Structure 1
Amino acid sequence: MITIAAACLLDDTGRLLLVRKRGTHAFMLPGGKHETGETPVQALLRELQEELDLRLEENALKPLGRFQADAANEPNMRVDAHVFVATLPHPVQPAAELEELAWLDTASDYPQNLAPLLREQVLPALLQHLG
């Protein structure tokens, strides 16, 4: 089991920011694995800074829930994800291991290359949360 923290970052029109790591095909939420001793929020704040040069305050993150699904890029592994929601305060660019950013309009059809966690667990919870 891979323990991660991830963020549903929404722009001012309600679109969801997705990322794709270098050498992979699946789009997923920004975030990543915990380092030793980190809380989910600490891990997420660090990952957002590394991957997107995005600095958020802890109180900007609202818990969405904890979800489990098959890992998108690691065969025969599952992820256990603490997922948070936040408003994106400014435009971002990919950094670190990220190759591409994309925007998902949650009201339209979803592309086929979404990570299982995002497609199966997070999007239904996010849509309910946004109500």
Structure 2
Amino acid sequence: MNSIDKLAWLYIENRKLLCARSKGKMPFYSPGGKREAGESDQQALMREINEELSVDLIPESMEYAGTFNAQADGKPEGVMVKMTCYYSRYNGTLQPASEIEETAWLTSADKSKSSLVTTLIMDWLVSEDKID
């Protein structure tokens, strides 16, 4: 497999991007994950965010943001990740769950702490004047 197809939730507050870090791993990334068989992007992202951050995305607020491709972290050279990103509001209280060790509100100054694809997303969000 030379490509990993994933979904991500872009949530911005006070010009900072919500990011998560998995247990035992170093880089922060935009929360999300992979589709299960038969799931739409919306269904998969709602499930993943609930599992990872204990909140419910609001389906009618989901909006496509963009798709980004980069070398996959921790994978052999040439294995790429394709990250399809959505904005959405949510209900509940953000709280790390499942495999998530911590969350953080990051700006472009924190790119060195982030996965390669998250770095690309941050650069794009800066160019769109959404984060610092």
Distance 1:129 1:42 in 2: 27
TM-score normalised by the chain length of structure 2: 0.84
Query: Residue 115 of structure 1 corresponds to which residue in structure 2?
Result: 115
Cα deviation 1:25-48 (Å, max 9, x = unaligned): 111000001111112221111100
Verify: 1:127 aligned to 2:129, yes or no.
no
Contact 1:5 1:41 in 2 (8 A): no
2 CA distance for matches of 1:119 and 1:64? 15
- CA deviations on 1:4-44 (whole Å, 9 max, x unpaired) are 10011122x23211100111111100000111111222111
Q: Which amino acid aligns with 1:70?
A: Q
CA distance in 2, matches of 1:129, 1:89: 26
Counterpart of 1:33 in structure 2 is 34
SS at match of 1:110: helix
Q: Secondary structure at the match of 1:46?
A: helix
SS in 2 for 1:3: strand
TM-score (norm 1): 0.85
Structure 1 match to 2:19: 18
Cα 1:6–1:115 shift into 2, 3 Å: same
Q: Distance in 2 between matches of 1:48 and 1:54?
A: 7
Could you list the per-position Cα deviations for residues 87-124 of structure 1 after superposition, in whole angstroms to 9, with x for gaps in the alignment?
45554111000011111134xx224121000112x112
Q: What value does the CA root-mean-square deviation take over the aligned residues? A: 1.9
Matched positions, count: 127
Distance 1:19 1:81, change over 3 A: same
Question: Tell me, which stretches of 5 or more residues in structure 2 are unaligned?
Answer: none
Partner of 1:81: 83
